[in-house]
Amino acid sequence: MTVVDTSPSTAPVRPPEPGGDRRRTRTKQSGHWMPRLLVNVLLWGYAVVAVGPLVLMVNNALRTQQQIAAEPLGLPFPISFTSFQEAWVTASFDTYFTNSIVVTVTSVALSTFVSLMAAYAFARTRVRGLRSIEGLFLAGLMLPVHLAVLPLFFMLDQLGMTSNIVSLILVYTALGIPFSTFVLAVFFRQLPQELEEAARLDGAGPFRAFWSIMVPLVRPALATVVVFRFVPVWNDFFYPLILMRDRDSYTLPVGLTRFFGEYSTDWPQLFAGLTIATLPLVVVFLLATRQIISGLTSGMSK
């Protein structure tokens, strides 16, 4: 509550602080030390608030129960990896982790592939009526689609596919279609038609022109789509919570709910579990920071 109360007064009031317009222009050129110090304190201060808990999570995963009890904020000396080992083996994080990887990679790949084809058709079709299908997909971007989980559950249940990660893969594939087709169709529409024309004149069929000419050209958009679907699918806990009823089919976020119920006193192991669930994301984030930031803000300049 305190944060919410104080922040409105600090942020908007800041700019006038240096005083009148004359001094403001001077700050811009030479850099007045007071406001610059204040800005630095604020930014680094919030950086600690934003990253601190995550650093603490990794830090405490590398310590023992006794160390945490004695000093909640100490450093991991001597360093200990036993909590990771325990979480991985005894708390079945190996199963959760494998499921998460399989589900995320397969569904993102599938969803990107079918969206790529659909987006190309949307961008290059002669048929007016297909616009309505594109509109339908777009509606999926804004609608709270996961409220329809109950019929989905019964449908999969009748097919005997609950607790089967294939159903999870298919659901995430479908959920990725609105966003992926939207981004890719925008890209396809920007590409010049002459390249395809040339390919078609040389005798390539529509699929050949699509696959050999167009797909390589939308590679930057593909990277955005893949990264942007990876994160929510990896993080989602709602669908596996409802659709996966068997421990062997849990993904990491749902595995965590069981794990926290059972190992609630073993703190290093809890922190290790959280770290395992976060690590692949950090890797993706570091590999694709630029895609993430430009993707989150794409369309903003229009």
Partner 1 sequence: MAITVPRTARRRPPRNTGIQLGLVPSLAFIMPALVLFAVLIMYPMGAALSYSFYGWQGTARDGFVGFANYVTLLTQQPYADQLWRGFSHNLLLFAGAFVFQNSLGLGIALLLHRRQRTKRLFQTMFTLPYLVSPMVIGYLWSLMLSPLFGPVNAILRGVGLESLALPWLGDPALAIWMVVLVSGWQWIGFPILLYGAAIGGIPVELDEAASLDGATALTRLRYITLPMLVPTMGIVTVLTFIGAMEAMAIPFALGGSSGSPAGSTDVMMLLFYRTAFESGNPNSIGVSSALATVLFLFILGISVGITRVMRRAERRLS
Of 158-187, which residues contact partner 1 (CB under 8 A)? 170-171, 173-175, 177-178, 181
Per CB under 8 A, 296 contacts partner 1: yes
Per CB under 8 A, 197 contacts partner 1: yes
Element (H, E) at 252: helix 252-262
Contacting partner 1 within 51-70 (CB under 8 A): 51, 53-54, 56-57, 68-69
Q: For 163-199, b where at least 16 C-beta lie within 10 A, e where not — what string?
A: bbbebbbbbbbbbbbbbbbbbbbbbbeebeeeebeeb
In the complex with partner 1, the residue whose CB is nearer, 79 or 142, is: 142
Element (H, E) at 136: helix 130-142
Per CB under 8 A, 122 contacts partner 1: yes
Contacting partner 1 within 94-113 (CB under 8 A): none
In the complex with partner 1, the residue whose CB is nearer, 102 or 161, is: 161
Which two tokens mark 231? 């994160």
Per CB under 8 A, 212 contacts partner 1: no
- Identified binder of partner 1 from the candidate list 84, 93, 97, 137, rule CB under 8 A: 137
- Identified binder of partner 1 from the candidate list 78, 79, 126, 246, rule CB under 8 A: 126
| Cis upstream peptide for 35 (omega within 30°) | no
Contacting partner 1 within 229-288 (CB under 8 A): 231, 234-238, 241-242, 252-253, 256-257, 260, 267, 270-271, 274, 277-278, 281-282, 285
Give the other-Cβ count within 10 Å of 151's Cβ.
8
Number of chain residues interacting with partner 1 (CB under 8 A): 107
The interface region with partner 1, picked from 77-85, 87-95, 114-122, 217-225 by CB under 8 A, is: 114-122
Residues, the chain: 302
Q: For 202-236, b where at least 16 C-beta lie within 10 A, e where not — what string?
A: eebeeeebbeebbbebbeebbbbbbbbbbbebbeb
- Identified binder of partner 1 from the candidate list 138, 152, 191, 215, rule CB under 8 A: 152
